[in-house]
Amino acid sequence: MVYYLLVLTVGIERFAELIVSRRNTQWAFAHGGKEFGHKHYPVMVALHTGLLLGCVVEVWALHRPFLPWLGWPMLAVVALSHALRWWCVRTLGLRWNTRVIVIPQAPLVRCGPYRWLHHPNYVAVVAEGLALPLVHTAWLTASTFTVANAALLRVRIHVENVALGYR
């Protein structure tokens, strides 16, 4: 039961992210923002929805146990991934959203976690996508999401790199 509440909490957090993203998307477009790679966005939404559903269904249907030696460390990884994600949101401020929108002539952000990585939010996504299901040994969901997400991130990161002018 506690695990289902964790997954619900992550789902509520995703909803909050979408609210912030919608507001920031409107701001970006009002400031001349240009969107790139919109075609992969519905796939991303479906994949992340599938992660949450998979966590619940696999644990429930296959009676996955909580193994403390695995579950507690994975819970810590989930917490750290959320902290990193919100650090990215805070660092980018109004420029953060779930789509790829670039405001022409705006300088690249090179502070916060962006000092070290071009795409730190995806480190959080990868970590959470593996760890959240493994909190309750949902290894099928963890492995399926990880493989599908790797394919999606290959496209997404390429789109962002082109949009931001990275070589």
Task: State residue 167's pLDDT score.
Answer: 64
- What CATH number did the domain enclosing 128 receive? 1.20.120.1630
Average pLDDT, the chain: 96
pLDDT digit string, tens, across residues 104-163: 989 999 999 999 999 999 999 999 999 999 999 999 999 999 999 999 999 999 999 999
Rounded mean pLDDT, 87-116 = 95
CB neighbourhood size of 113 (10 A): 19
Task: State residue 81's pLDDT score.
Answer: 98
With beta carbons less than 8 A apart as the criterion, state whether 105 and 28 touch.
no
Rounded mean pLDDT, 75-80 = 98
pLDDT digit string, tens, across residues 18-29: 999 999 999 999
Task: State residue 56's pLDDT score.
Answer: 98
- Give the domain extent around 133: 2-164
* DSSP string computed for the chain: -HHHHHHHHHHHHHHHHHHHHHHHHHHHHHTT-EEE-GGGHHHHHHHHHHHHHHHHHHHHHTTPPP-HHHHHHHHHHHHHHHHHHHHHHHHHGGG--SSEEE-TTPPPP-SGGGGT-S-HHHHHHHHHHHHHHHTTT-HHHHHHHHHHHHHHHHHHHHHHHHHHT--
Q: How confident is the model at residue 166 (pLDDT cuts 50, 70, 90)?
A: confident
How many domains does one find in the chain?
Answer: 1
Q: How confident is the model at residue 165 (pLDDT cuts 50, 70, 90)?
A: confident
